[in-house]
Amino acid sequence: QVQLVESGGGLVQPGGSLRLSCAASGSIRSINTMAWYRQSPGKERELVASISSGGSRHGETNYADPVKGRFTISRDNAKKMVFLQMDSLKPEDTAIYFCSVEEFRLAGPRKYWGQGTAVTVSS
C-alpha cells in the first residue's frame, strides 16, 4: 500500500511564506515526476508545480504562470519527499494543496495522491 501525507498548510497573511511537505510511504519504489496541485472553491484542480526525476532536490521543474517566481518545488529522493516553498503569498493562492507522485513500474506508471493540506492567505 502506498500513502502520501501532506503537511505545512495554515493561515498566513499576504506576502507571507509557507513550506509544504509531502512524504510517501509504503511499497512505492522508484518515483518519477512529483508534483503539487491545488483546488479552490468553485474551481477544478490545477497543476501548480512539478519536478522530474533526478538527484535529491534536483530535476527539471515546471511552474504554473500564477506562481512563477514565487514558488519553488524540490524533492528529496532518499526520503521520498517533495516540498513546495511558497513565498510572497497572495489571497488568490488560497486553496487545498495536493501532493502527487508518479511511480515507475514494470507494468507501467501509476499516479498517487495525498489528501491535501489547506492554505489560507488572508489579512
pLDDT over 90 (residue 8) = yes
Q: Report how far apart, in Å, the C-alpha atoms of 10 and of each of 65, 107, 119 are.
A: 23, 38, 5
Confidence of residue 24 (pLDDT cuts 50, 70, 90): very high
Q: What is the spatial distance between Cα 122 and Cα 68, in angstroms, rounded to a whole number?
A: 20
With contact defined as beta carbons under 8 Å apart, do 112 and 4 qualify? yes
Beta strands of the chain (E only): which ranges?
Answer: 2-7, 10-12, 18-26, 30-39, 46-51, 61-63, 71-76, 81-86, 95-104, 110-113, 117-121
**Gap between the Cα atoms of 109 and 103, Å rounded:** 5
| Residue 19 reports pLDDT greater than 70 | yes
Instruction: Note the pLDDT of residue 29.
Output: 79
CB atoms within 10 A of CB 52: 15
DSSP 77: T
pLDDT in tens, 63-102: 999 999 999 999 998 899 999 999 999 999 999 999 999 9
Query: Is the pLDDT score of 54 beyond 80?
Result: no
Say yes or no to pLDDT of 27 above 90.
no
Residue 37 pLDDT > 80: yes
Whole-number pLDDT of residue 50: 97
